[in-house]
Homo-oligomer: A and B are copies of this chain.
Amino acid sequence: MGSVNDVLITPLQKIEAEGGDVLHAMKSTDIGFQGFGEAYFSWVTGGSIKAWKRHNMMTMNLVVPIGNVRFVFFSMKECRFRIEDIGSDRYARLTVPPGIWFGFQGLASYNSLVLNLSNIVHDPDEVSRMQLSEIQYSW
């Protein structure tokens, strides 16, 4: 099972442009790229918590182009949390290897948007889930 220390955080560029800024997300040459399987978005409404999941095969690359999201990672072996907030206030990418429990919460009052660039196509069989109450964290 993965350690929360193995989560990578990579600052990303925002480029000002007339008519609307350009925001980097990921290049195939970037650190953390493990191949492309699927890209999908998850909205998180203000204050909402989505937890807990663990991918057993998937490496996630997470970017938040709108709003701000708190990601909480939990390493069961070490019984240790790691918290990373990303989004408009800290525009960065999180690379999450398989084997780490995680949950996330919308920090903005409005909806936040998470893009996951994953190295495999979504497969419900590689996902483990627990109820929110099964890992004690004070959100």
Interface string of A23-65 (1 = CB under 8 A from B): 1111111000001111111111100111000000000000101
Interchain nearest-CB distance for A44 vs B (Å): 4
In the complex, whether A66 has a CB less than 8 A from a CB of chain B is yes
Please tell me if the beta carbons of A41 and B25 are within 8 angstroms of each other in the complex: yes
Q: Which of B23, B41, B45 contacts A22 (CB 8 A)?
A: B41
Separation of A41 and B26 alpha carbons in the complex (Å):
10
Residue of B nearest to A50 (CB): B19
Classify chain A: how many residues form its interface, as a range.
35 or more
Interface string of A108-139 (1 = CB under 8 A from B): 00010101010001100000000000000000
In the complex, whether A78 has a CB less than 8 A from a CB of chain B is no
Also in contact, A23 and B43, with CB within 8 A (given A66-B66, A113-B66): yes
Interchain nearest-CB distance for A68 vs B (Å): 14
Separation of A43 and B21 alpha carbons in the complex (Å):
5
Please tell me if the beta carbons of B38 and A65 are within 8 angstroms of each other in the complex: no
Please name all residues of chain B whose beta carbon is closer than 8 Å to the beta carbon of A48 when the two chains form the complex. Answer: 18-20
Separation of A36 and B111 alpha carbons in the complex (Å):
28
Q: Which of B20, B29, B35, B106 contacts A111 (CB 8 A)?
A: B20
Please tell me if the beta carbons of A42 and B27 are within 8 angstroms of each other in the complex: no
